[in-house]
Amino acid sequence: MEYRHERLGAIQGVLWRTMALNLTVAVLKTVGGLVTGITAIWADGLHSIGDSLSNIVGLLGVRLARREPDEEYPYGYDKFESIATLVITGIIFVTLFEVIRAGIARLREPSDAIVNGTTIALLVSSMTINLFVVWYEGRAGKRLKSELLIADSNETKSDVFVTLGILSGVSTMAIFPALAWLDGVLTLLVACAIGHVIYEIVTSTARVLGDAQVVDPRRVHAIATAVPGVQFCHAIRSRGRETGFYLDLHIGVEPTITIEEAHDVVCHNVKRALYDTFPELKSAHIHIEPNNEKGRTREGSVFATRDPYGHNGNGI
């Protein structure tokens, strides 16, 4: 438990530092876009603000993950992170609408923009900060085995390519002033990047709220059946998120062994093996069954009609 809290505290520290860097990039781009009159830079600044909001959601998630379950929320508070994520997604969607509108307006009425060495330096500086964030957060994610940090660093990596595209477009506009309409095109490309972020957030949040499988059941099956005394394993379910999830599974044991041995030895060893493999595992509920025909096929299951997933064997 102490290691878990130390790990989550370290992840929290990385997120705070990353958020500070993302906010710096957002300010540079937003102010720079307004000063130079280049809508694409301003839009990319809003995109970077979205990254900062994602960091806030990550911080909220880590804080909730450190909070222990209680009588009111016996499974913990993790899903509040998903609720906060949906709220932030709504804010980002409003930003997307404004960026699209600005891009279309710039296409219809191209206007002169200030493209000089300062503009180029601004974009190069923000891209350099993003590259550092990708390196720092990705390295910390691997060290702390945090899917959250790794995913966030990959999302920032996509920002580098967006900024690189804008840098190329701005450089072209500097050489060919007649291509002022290119600003509108770049702004709409940024809108596509923001739309992709929204899609990724919504789909990942839906998986958590819909209790989608978190880990491959075949991997769990291999771990469980490798433990001495386990004759079979089925009805494997996982729910939550990669940074903290729950497991349900059934294992078969020799019918002649005692309940004490089945529970205190076999079942305990399976839980230990699972926890050693998945440090993010919060709890594993294991149902013990005798290794006979009814146990293997779940023929005698009281919930057979209500539990087709586990009953028909697809839970492996």
Final residue belonging to a domain, choices 179, 209, 239: 209
Backbone φ/ψ region at 250: left (φ over 0), alpha (ψ -120 to 50), beta: beta
Whether 215 contacts 245, CB under 8 Å: yes
**Bridge partners of residue 245, in order along the sequence:** 240, 281
Same domain, 222 and 170: no
Within 8 A by CB and 6+ apart from 83, the residues are none
Same domain, 94 and 144: yes
d(CA 161, CA 29): 15
Torsion sign, CA atoms 74, 78, 81, 82:
negative
Q: Mean pLDDT across the stretch 105-126?
A: 78
- Least confident residue range of 95-104, 121-130, 142-151, 179-188: 142-151
d(CA 235, CA 221): 10
Same domain, 49 and 187: yes
Highest mean pLDDT among 10-14, 189-193, 239-243, 245-249: 245-249
Q: What is the CATH number of the domain that holds 225?
A: 3.30.70.1350
Higher pLDDT, 77 or 65: 77
Quote the pLDDT of residue 4. Answer: 62
Q: Which residue has the tokens 């997307």?
A: 96
d(CA 256, CA 311): 24
pLDDT, mean over the chain: 82
Phi, psi of 301 (to 5 degrees): -65, 130
Q: Mean pLDDT across the stretch 126-143?
A: 88
Quote the pLDDT of residue 82. Answer: 74
Same domain, 68 and 199: yes
Q: Tokens at residue 114, please?
A: 């200030």
Is residue 316 assigned to a domain?
Answer: no
pLDDT digits (tens, 9 = 90+) for 35-74: 877 888 888 887 788 778 777 877 777 777 667 778 888 8
pLDDT band at 315 (very low <50, low <70, confident <90, very high): low
Final residue belonging to a domain, choices 148, 182, 209: 209
Q: What is the CATH number of the domain that holds 141?
A: 1.20.1510
Within 8 A by CB and 6+ apart from 167, the residues are 120, 123, 124, 127
Quote the pLDDT of residue 242. Answer: 78
Q: Which residue has the tokens 């309409």?
A: 181
Q: Mean pLDDT across the stretch 74-82?
A: 76
Same domain, 53 and 83: yes
Quote the pLDDT of residue 257. Answer: 93
Same domain, 197 and 256: no
3-state secondary structure of 280: coil
pLDDT at 8 over 80: no
Same domain, 205 and 221: no
Same domain, 28 and 157: yes
Please classify residue 278 by burial: count the beta carbons closer than 10 Å to its beta carbon, then call 0-12 exposed, 13-18 middle and 19+ buried: buried
Final residue belonging to a domain, choices 209, 229, 247: 209
Same domain, 197 and 247: no
Quote the pLDDT of residue 193. Answer: 81
**Bridge partners of residue 249, in order along the sequence:** 286
pLDDT digits (tens, 9 = 90+) for 228-271: 999 999 989 999 887 789 999 999 999 999 999 999 999 999 99
User: 173 lies in which domain range?
Assistant: 2-209
Same domain, 225 and 195: no
Q: Return the closest-CA partner of residue 39 out of 175, 159, 185.
A: 185
Q: Mean pLDDT across the stretch 290-296?
A: 85
- Least confident residue range of 170-184, 198-212, 282-296: 170-184
Same domain, 114 and 32: yes
Q: What percent of the chain has pLDDT over 70?
A: 91
d(CA 159, CA 202): 19
pTM score, whole prediction: 0.69
